[in-house]
Amino acid sequence: MVEPANSYLLKLASIILSKFYLCVIIVQPTAAMASATITLLDEAQPQLKVSKISAVAPAIPTSRQRIFLSILDFWFLPFRNVQRLFFYRISAEDEYSLVVDRLRESLSSVLVYFYPLAGRIDNGESGRPAIDCNDDGVEFVEASIDMPFQLLERDGFERRPFFQTLVRVANPLLHQNYTPPVLSIQVTAFEGSGICIGTTLHHAIADGNSFWHFMKSWVECSRGLPVSKPPDHRRSIFIRENKGLASISLKAQEVSNDRFAGAKIFNFVPDDLQPEHGKPVGGSDPQNQEETAQNWVDPSDKLELVYSKFRFKKERIRDLKQRAGASSSFVAVTAQFWRCVMIARGVPPEEDVSFTVLVDLRGRVKPPLPSSYFGNCISVGVVKIKARKLVNEDISFAAGLIEEVINFCTTETYVNNMMEWLRSPDNGYPSFLSERGRYATNAVGSPRFPLYDIDYGWGKPLNVQLLSINGIGGMVLDPASDGGGSIVVSTRLPQHQMETLSELLFV
């Protein structure tokens, strides 16, 4: 006989309060019971206890050196933290202390190859940002939390406020103090055979491809395997000689394709080659740039933002690609999401809406870089269009715009001028962000990243999520945990807009 929901709620509450988390609840789950679980998680304020903080250095001392940050690393200097959570179920045989020892020892081994992660960023005597490869180590935090892991599993690992405690630094805000560790690892034990590995990485050290390269190499060391793809640390490839700054401006230029009349793409143009129809978009004062960037990370209007994730199954993606005439699943899914987010946000018809995409350059620069290049190797592209134009056209219009900006921002001329523009201390991602407009959407992540291949030896993660989602209505694209070609998109919006979005996406 199934217990009434209120009886279940009382029982579950008593388990939490008494901390007898291993008691078995022998009832069948119902909608009411699931609601009770969610309510408890919403209201829960579990206490995190940090038992130890240490520094993990490379197992073999590395030669001390300074690696200057490349021009492409400069994009991300002001944004210190990229945070991710990995949730694992561990067996009773895998005691927490043994898991921690294995993680610490294998981390020490992999840092021999990824030694910049054990260093610190500073400006040195020259004032030029660099990684001081001093083997000071990765911050390693051991913690526990009075929350049953089974509740998170039952809740599908939906984002909860206390997730912020599962990483060392609570908020990924602007940060100009580069003395802290560039990488922090926090291993948190839950009640009931579950752990979370939280990572906090300074974005100026590595982009997404480099982060996942490091994680897969760490896994190899944990499993007693050699590092199959040693990293390439030649950041000097993107370091320009200081011959004086070229005069480059960031401008919004009309798209040449008549199909997209009225759309504008951000371009980096030498001042002596500026077309008459190019509208300057740079030059906003530094205070405005900082406020805009801060607002992008943590909206100043204090909207009650909620987080949700949407799964696009393989069959749905195939249908979207056909309707959009898209060349990739990424383009098809982001086109659908961009249109629907702008509709859900109720953007006025004559307002500009923008889409920002980050594109890997490793195989696109000349000569091409190996996939093992460790650092930031990203081009950033932005396209703007009037809201009415975006939402009144079908998905093929949005997909075409996204493909247009991807192709445009990966040309040799664009990349060279972008790097020249980044050399100026007044330029960078804050100034870039400040010009995108109020209704800006960005797409990060990739369904090709190996989120669910990070198996240290006790099984694949049950859930992986990017904790540091920025902007309102931004997208994080990940592969589904069970594979099969599905894509999961995470975002954050005010509650009523999220409800509208969920109704629009799969129509």
- Look at residues 331, 325, 322, 317 and name the one whose alpha carbon lies nearest to residue 407: 331
Buried b (16+ CB within 10 A) or exposed e, 487-501: bbbbbbbbeebbebb
Give CA angle at 295 (294, 298), nearest 5°: 85
- Look at residues 118, 214, 134, 155 and name the one whose alpha carbon lies nearest to residue 37: 155
Confidence at residue 174, expressed as pLDDT on a 0 to 100 scale: 41
Q: 100: buried, middle or exposed (CB in 10 Å: 19+, 13-18, 0-12)? A: middle
425-452, pLDDT tens digit by residue? 777 666 677 678 889 999 999 999 999 9
The enclosing H or E element of 264 equals strand 264-270
Residue 90 lies in a domain: yes
Q: Choose the final residue of a domain: 185, 215, 238.
A: 238
Q: Whole-angstrom Cα distance, residue 331 to residue 401? A: 10
Distance of CA 366 to the CA centre of its chain: 27
59-110, pLDDT tens digit by residue? 999 989 999 999 899 888 876 689 999 999 998 777 899 999 999 999 999 9
- Residue 463 and residue 482 in contact, taking contact as beta carbons nearer than 8 Å: no
pLDDT at 116 over 80: yes
Indicate whether 292 and 268 sit together in one domain.
yes
Confidence at residue 168, expressed as pLDDT on a 0 to 100 scale: 84
Q: Work out the mean pLDDT of the chain and round it to a whole number.
A: 84
Residue 452 lies in a domain: yes
Q: Whole-angstrom Cα distance, residue 259 to residue 397? A: 8
Buried b (16+ CB within 10 A) or exposed e, 384-408: bbbbebbbebebbbbbbbbbbbbeb
Q: Whole-angstrom Cα distance, residue 306 to residue 299? A: 13
Tokens representing 293 are 């960037």
182 Cβ contact partners less than 8 Å away, ≥ 6 residues apart: 116, 117, 119, 120, 121, 131, 201, 202, 204, 205
Identity of the highest mean pLDDT range in 159-173, 301-315, 491-505: 491-505
Give the CATH number of the domain where residue 163 resides.
3.30.559.10
Confidence at residue 21, expressed as pLDDT on a 0 to 100 scale: 30
pTM value is: 0.86
Q: Whole-angstrom Cα distance, residue 385 to residue 261? A: 9
Q: Choose the final residue of a domain: 175, 203, 238.
A: 238
Residue 160 lies in a domain: yes
In the chain, the percentage of residues whose pLDDT exceeds 90 is 64
Confidence at residue 354, expressed as pLDDT on a 0 to 100 scale: 95
pLDDT at 128 over 90: no
Q: Whole-angstrom Cα distance, residue 310 to residue 337? A: 10
Indicate whether 180 and 224 sit together in one domain.
yes
First and final CA of the chain: distance in angstroms?
39
Structure-model confidence comparison of residues 92 and 5, the more confident one: 92
139-170, pLDDT tens digit by residue? 999 999 999 999 999 999 999 999 999 998 64
pLDDT at 27 over 70: no
> For residue 232, what are the β-bridge partners?
373
Confidence at residue 257, expressed as pLDDT on a 0 to 100 scale: 87
Per the structure, the count of domains in the chain is 3
Structure-model confidence comparison of residues 13 and 250, the more confident one: 250
Confidence at residue 17, expressed as pLDDT on a 0 to 100 scale: 35
Indicate whether 434 and 345 sit together in one domain.
yes
pLDDT at 22 over 50: no
Confidence at residue 271, expressed as pLDDT on a 0 to 100 scale: 78
Confidence at residue 238, expressed as pLDDT on a 0 to 100 scale: 77
Helix axes 314-324, 329-344, angle to 10 degrees: 80
Q: What are phi and psi of 409, to 5 degrees?
A: -80, 0
Indicate whether 365 and 419 sit together in one domain.
yes
Q: What are phi and psi of 411, to 5 degrees?
A: -70, 155
Taking residues 383-388, what's their average pLDDT?
96
DSSP string, 346-387: T--TTSEEEEEEEEE-TTTSSSPPPTTB-S--EEEEEEEEEH
Indicate whether 327 and 213 sit together in one domain.
no
Indicate whether 288 and 380 sit together in one domain.
yes
- Look at residues 407, 481, 505, 351 and name the one whose alpha carbon lies nearest to residue 491: 505
> For residue 420, what are the β-bridge partners?
none
Structure-model confidence comparison of residues 177 and 411, the more confident one: 411
pLDDT at 12 over 50: no
Indicate whether 227 and 301 sit together in one domain.
no
Residue 217 lies in a domain: yes
Radius of gyration of the CA atoms of the chain, in A: 24
pLDDT at 228 over 60: yes
- Look at residues 365, 358, 82, 380 and name the one whose alpha carbon lies nearest to residue 205: 82
Confidence at residue 423, expressed as pLDDT on a 0 to 100 scale: 82
Confidence at residue 28, expressed as pLDDT on a 0 to 100 scale: 39
Indicate whether 398 and 493 sit together in one domain.
yes
Indicate whether 76 and 34 sit together in one domain.
no
Identity of the highest mean pLDDT range in 68-72, 183-187, 280-284: 183-187
Confidence at residue 108, expressed as pLDDT on a 0 to 100 scale: 98
Confidence at residue 45, expressed as pLDDT on a 0 to 100 scale: 83
Indicate whether 82 and 33 sit together in one domain.
no
Give CA angle at 298 (477, 153), nearest 5°: 50
Indicate whether 379 and 293 sit together in one domain.
yes
Structure-model confidence comparison of residues 213 and 20, the more confident one: 213
Residue 243 lies in a domain: no
pLDDT at 33 over 50: no
Residue 13 lies in a domain: yes
Residue 69 lies in a domain: yes
Q: What single-letter amino acid sits at 145?
A: I
The boundaries of the domain holding residue 123 are 48-238
Residue 94 lies in a domain: yes
Reported confidence tier of residue 130, pLDDT bands at 50, 70, 90: very high
232-268, pLDDT tens digit by residue? 999 987 765 555 556 888 889 999 888 999 999 999 9
Residue 270: asked if its preceding bond is cis (omega within 30°), the reply is: no
Q: Choose the final residue of a domain: 212, 238, 264.
A: 238
Reported confidence tier of residue 55, pLDDT bands at 50, 70, 90: very high
Indicate whether 172 and 311 sit together in one domain.
no
